[in-house]
């Protein structure tokens, strides 16, 4: 049988298994199996050559039982509807795990932003927000950065929404620049959350982080900051890859210096003192901690048997297929699932939203301390369920989250 790689089918199966394990009202799964709302839009953008080009975009709003929809918007040529729906579902689960008062949302535009000028990118961003403006708002649906979007793009989104509404609405989007309602610590939040869970996971299995070897697949915002932060704690990053290739040094690479090279050249390739390594070999490298921080379906049934690590910390969304998760767990690998490991981003997005609504801003130290406390609490909630039920960490995370969502739906009267 062919391994299932469709993310929407994967997450629906995960939802069903969790609902059955918890013996919930059948209505819970019926509500959670599909987003509450999903739109697909086509919109024109004036290009620099004077011609108009039409782009396609999506926004999925999965569930708002616990609060407004929340989730990033990605710009990528391979974005498609089922992916966006699945990612919005994972956001619902992620927020529930973290006890963040949000539901899940996600969006995307089918585009390769590298092919656009800065002016074209701004016009595309504003046009997309104009299309989805009726769906979003500070108390309704709060977008954020995702693949190939950043603080500048968020600033354009916020400005366009505010222009359409006729008043400043800083809380409509998170991940904004610091001088336009952004929160200190937001840029590194997903990475910092990953590292907090890696530290807790290492403690649970008796792994000393000092000198522990780390391999990182994907060296964008999440992978690069995770590498820098985990090195500061004494770990040794020995391999890094990006879309152009990979680098390896068994004696350690400086993630900070690699990040500086990426700023200058756009790639980790040819970093001084390293040797080339391809993506497959990096994933199968012997190391203590593997951080897949690129895209979905990187650890599958085809390579899971060859993975030689003690802990997988999922910086990306959906990098491990269910079959690979099963194989890795049977091998004794501790898999810290995406819905827990990379929840630092949405947590500090929540902090930003709170600060926007109050007009009162915290120090970076306050943000990081609050994030650490919430990540550790969430990790322990999931790990305790994992131990109690003797199930995989991913399954435990779903049980923790879906019980909270079900309780909210029950008390709101959604289940009859």
Strand-pairing partners, residue 108, are: 58, 74
The gap between the terminal CA atoms of the chain, to the nearest Å, is 39
Q: What is the Cα–Cα distance from 216 to 380, expressed in whole angstroms? A: 24
Q: What is the Cα–Cα distance from 194 to 145, expressed in whole angstroms? A: 17
Strand-pairing partners, residue 56, are: 42
Angle at which helices 7-22 and 393-412 cross, to 10°: 70
SS3 56: strand
Q: What is the Cα–Cα distance from 244 to 97, expressed in whole angstroms? A: 34
Query: 87: closest CA among 329, 342, 312?
Result: 342
Q: What is the Cα–Cα distance from 276 to 319, expressed in whole angstroms? A: 23
Residue of 85, 106, 176, 310 marked active site: 106
- For the four alpha carbons of 135, 136, 139 and 141, in that order, the dihedral sign comes to positive
Query: Which phi and psi (to 5°) does residue 123 adopt?
Result: -65, -40
Residue with tokens 């994967």: 10
Angle at which helices 151-165 and 118-132 cross, to 10°: 50
Burial of 170 (C-beta count, 10 Å sphere; 0-12/13-18/19+):
buried
9 is catalytic: no
> What is the DSSP track for 313-345?
E--SSS-B-HHHHHHHHHTT-EEE-HHHHTTHH
Q: Do the strands 289-292 and 311-313 form a parallel or antiparallel pair, or are they unpaired?
A: parallel
Q: How many residues does the chain have?
A: 416
SS3 57: strand
- Angle among Cα 9, 10, 13 to the nearest 5 degrees reads 85
How many Cβ atoms sit within 10 Å of the Cβ of residue 213? 19
Q: What is the Cα–Cα distance from 15 to 399, expressed in whole angstroms? A: 9
Active-site amino acid positions: 106
């Amino acid at each position: 049988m062919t391994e299932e790689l469709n993310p929407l089918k994967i997450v629906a199966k995960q939802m069903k298994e969790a609902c059955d394990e918890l013996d919930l009202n059948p209505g819970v799964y019926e509500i959670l199996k599909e987003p509450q709302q999903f739109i697909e839009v086509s919109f024109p953008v004036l290009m620099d050559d004077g011609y108009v080009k039409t782009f396609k975009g999506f926004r999925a709003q999965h569930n708002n039982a616990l609060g407004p929809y929340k989730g990033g918007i990605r710009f990528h040529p391979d974005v498609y509807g089922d992916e966006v729906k699945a990612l919005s579902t994972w956001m619902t689960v992620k927020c529930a795990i973290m006890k963040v008062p949000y539901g899940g949302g996600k969006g995307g535009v089918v585009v390769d932003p590298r092919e656009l000028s800065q002016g074209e990118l701004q016009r595309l961003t504003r046009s997309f927000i104009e299309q989805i403006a009726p769906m979003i708002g500070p108390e309704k649906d709060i977008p954020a950065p995702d693949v190939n979007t950043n603080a500048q793009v968020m600033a354009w989104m916020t400005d366009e929404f505010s222009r359409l509404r006729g008043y400043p609405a800083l809380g409509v989007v998170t991940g904004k620049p610091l001088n336009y309602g952004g929160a200190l610590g937001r840029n590194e939040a997903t990475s910092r959350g990953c590292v907090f869970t890696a530290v807790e996971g290492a403690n649970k299995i008796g792994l000393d982080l000092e000198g522990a070897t780390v391999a990182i697949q994907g060296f964008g915002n999440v992978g690069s900051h995770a590498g820098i932060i985990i090195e500061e704690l004494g770990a040794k990053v020995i391999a890094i890859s990006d879309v152009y290739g990979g680098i390896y040094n068994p004696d350690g690479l400086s993630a900070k210096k690699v990040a500086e090279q990426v700023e200058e050249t756009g790639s980790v390739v040819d970093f001084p003192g390293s040797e080339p390594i391809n993506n497959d070999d990096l994933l199968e490298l012997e190391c203590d901690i593997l951080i897949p921080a690129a895209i979905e379906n990187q650890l599958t049934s085809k390579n899971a048997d060859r993975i030689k690590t003690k802990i997988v910390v999922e910086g990306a969304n959906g990098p491990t297929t269910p079959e690979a998760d099963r194989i890795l767990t049977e091998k004794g690998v501790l898999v810290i699932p995406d819905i827990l490991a990379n929840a630092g981003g949405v947590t500090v997005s929540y902090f930003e939203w709170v600060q926007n609504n109050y007009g009162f801003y915290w120090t970076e130290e306050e943000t990081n301390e609050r994030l650490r406390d919430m990540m550790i609490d969430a990790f322990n909630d999931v790990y305790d369920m994992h131990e109690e039920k003797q199930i995989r960490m991913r399954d435990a995370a779903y049980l923790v989250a879906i019980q909270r969502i079900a309780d909210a739906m029950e008390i709101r009267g959604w289940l009859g």
